[in-house]
Amino acid sequence: MARVSVILLNFNGGDLTSQAIDSLLKQVDVEPEIIVVDNGSTDGSREKIAGCYGERIRMINNQENQGFSPACNQGFEIATGDWVALMNNDAEADPLWLKRSLARVGGDEKIGVVIPKILNYFNREKLDGIGVGFWLDGISRARHRGELDSRLWDSDSPQVASGCACLFSKKMIDELHGFDASFFAYSEDTDLGIRIFLSGWKTVFEPKAVVYHMYSATSSGKTGYSPMKLYYVERNRIRILLRYYPLQLILVSPFSSLIRYLALASQVLFSRSKGKGLGPGAAALALSRAVLHALASLPAQMEIRKQWLSSPQRKQAMSGLLRNNRIALSEISRLD
């Protein structure tokens, strides 16, 4: 069976990362190469992980937080497996995750991505997500989050993988040069997933490959939906919008975003238990900075658009991807 490398990121989250590593060491019939990229931890977790696992893992030690996408790219560069998996450090892999994912590939060399079923770690009867879906203004989110798990989902056909947990062909990752490092965090998986789709690689779903996720335990578990998270989510969704969306959706995006912002504001104002750390003033400042910085990069986004939407066929395919994976406003505007 093909060798697999698994990349985990750690940033002041030693206990979570150790739990994730332990679940990878228990994989059945697969002995993964485990790569831990430490993003400048200052809580002693880097030293704790290195001391606990020794030669059973490979570590990259960054002096400061490089962000999710650059750190994952560091892992991609040194991975030796034919397949490379991502898993958040606030996740736990079922013992058969990798075996079943590889079995789904079989001998199909056109498959570039295997999406697992991701369940809520704390309530394992509920979904954390199956792939990624889109709203009208470029923002994306895990599909079916919070819905009850059921065999009905076994026939689902997601087309874009979540960076929370998935399996990639190393050949494909090398061909596409991994994540766009300029995203730093959030929506880099959406950007890569779109490029995978437009490049002609196949993405498949294996419902028997399962990962359990403690959603946002790393990025905002202590402070709720933080201004930093809001900034990167909003800045990067505008990049996705400008790079890949049809012109008519770009033109109406201010109105689409206004509708979503009003739904989001109602949660900030009336659901403060979920929105702690994100008052109206902080939210407005983060949104303003995100829009200004995204628009400042307009020339760069247009060059990328020319590269990926160069033909009517690709434009049509992209419209189909958005249509088939659209998410309702009630889901996309939730504060979690």
Tens of pLDDT, residue by residue over 86-136, are 999 999 999 999 999 999 999 899 999 999 999 999 999 999 999 999 999
Query: Is residue 221 included in any domain, yes or no?
Result: no
Residues 316 and 174 in one domain: no
Whether residue 75 is found in the same domain as residue 175: yes
Specify the pTM: 0.94
Q: Are both 125 and 67 inside the same structural domain?
A: yes
Among 150, 179, 213, the domain-final residue is: 213
Question: How many domains does the chain divide into?
Answer: 2
Lowest mean pLDDT, pick from 156-165, 193-202, 218-227:
218-227
How does DSSP assign 211-279, residue by residue?
A: EEE-TTTTTTTTTSS-HHHHHHHHHHHHHHHHHHS-HHHHHHHHHHHHHHHHHHHHHHHH-TTTSTT--
Asked, for residue 219, whether it belongs to a domain, the answer is: no
CB–CB of 166/115 below 8 Å? yes
CB neighbourhood size of 50 (10 A): 14
What pLDDT does 84 receive? 98
Do 191 and 234 have their domain in common?
Answer: no
Residue 2 has pLDDT above 80, yes or no: no
Which of 224, 294, 215, 220 minimizes the C-alpha distance to 257? 294
The parent domain of residue 321 ranges over 227-332
* Domain match, 65 and 161 both: yes
> Is 157 found in the same domain as 62?
yes
Mean pLDDT of 302-323: 97
| Co-location of 168 and 89 in the same domain | yes
**Mean pLDDT (whole number) for 47-68:** 96
Distance of alpha carbon 325 from its chain centroid, rounded? 15
On the question of pLDDT at 225 being above 90, the answer is no
Q: Which of 145-149, 219-223, 320-324 has the least mean pLDDT?
A: 219-223
Tokens describing residue 77: 């560069």
CA atoms of 263 and 249, how far apart (whole Å)? 19
Q: What is the mean pLDDT of residues 260-272?
A: 74
222 domain-assigned: no
Distance between first and last Cα of the chain: 38
- What the block records as the tokens of 328 is 């309702």
CATH number for the domain harbouring residue 120? 3.90.550.10
Q: What are the CB-based long-range contacts (under 8 Å, 24+) for 47-50?
A: 48/14, 48/18, 49/10, 49/14, 49/17, 49/18, 49/21
Q: What are phi and psi of 240, to 5 degrees?
A: -60, -45
What is the distance between the alpha carbons of residues 297 and 292, in angstroms, rounded to a whole number? 9
What the block records as the tokens of 199 is 């490049």
Q: What is the DSSP string of 294-323?
A: HHHTHHHHHHHHHHHS-SHHHHHHHHHHHH
Residue at which a domain ends, from 213, 242, 272: 213
Same-domain status, 46 and 173 = yes
Same-domain check for residues 277 and 197: no
Residue finishing a domain among 161, 187, 213: 213
Average pLDDT over residues 31-57: 96
Instruction: Report how far residue 213's alpha carbon sits from residue 118's, in angstroms, rounded to the nearest whole number.
Output: 7
What is the predicted pLDDT for the residue at 1? Answer: 43
Does 218 map to a domain?
no
- Among 187, 207, 185, which residue's Cα sits nearest to residue 133? 187
For residues 181 and 246, membership in a common domain is answered with: no
CB within 8 Å of 215: residues ≥ 6 apart: 90, 120, 128, 145, 336
Beta bridge partners of 86: 7, 166
Q: Is the pLDDT of residue 258 over 70?
A: yes
297 has pLDDT over 60: yes
In this prediction, residue 281 carries a pLDDT of 84
Residues 288, 234 share a domain: yes
In the predicted structure, residue 217 carries a pLDDT above the cut 60 = no
φ/ψ region of 68 (left if φ > 0, alpha if ψ in -120 to 50, else beta) reads alpha
| Residue 236: closest CA among 39, 68, 12 | 68
Could you tell me if 297 and 188 lie in one domain? no
Structural domain includes residue 11? yes
